[in-house]
Structure 1
């Protein structure tokens, strides 16, 4: 298995993988988002590939604003991570996290953060399994005015 950083050659594959994680999104928007990431100095993505098949990705950003539970800036933020369900428990997500950590350290980060929905127990368990510690639980609200 190899881990590739996002490039013009795999941005369409990244867009397809994003739709598995966030099915409410659409391919065209995610492809455009991938092109934006290619030009960014504060965002990147890495894709796991095995025998020519893309199996997962991690999308990252450097956040300079306040990030819950952190005390430094910038903070490496995991915007999303996905591994094909048929290939989970094979160490792919762990390798993606390791690559992310190296990228974060190279950009001056000493902390990594992430979030998930309060009801997503699978994601919460995953975060714990790769070394994240929970710092807060939050319910957000909105009101039309």
Structure 2
């Protein structure tokens, strides 16, 4: 489990860093950016690596919480990491979206509820197929 989560963290962090650098090169192509902005991009990448490479896999594969607790924790962590990422990328953009935090939180919760039910539906189908193979 530890090795898998470590690999997930590394892949998510590196993938996010490359993705953000690629997108930033389009946004800031004609501007000089300060060197500390690269550190902000690295912090965003590490944050995404922790959330999507460690937290989500641990929560949905290994933790034994109830479904509502998983959904609530996922929503909270995803929302907080999202707004922190926006702040690290652009404090001005952060101030622009501040009035809409409640809407973002509700949409994040709704997205996690829908994703959970789709995920549980496919997991139950997968487990049923595995049990049927054992019976044959």
Normalising to structure 1: TM-score of the pair? 0.30
Which protein has greater RCO, CA pairs closer than 8 Å, 6+ apart? 2
- Say which one has the larger Rg: 2
Write 1 or 2 for the structure with the bigger share of helix: 2
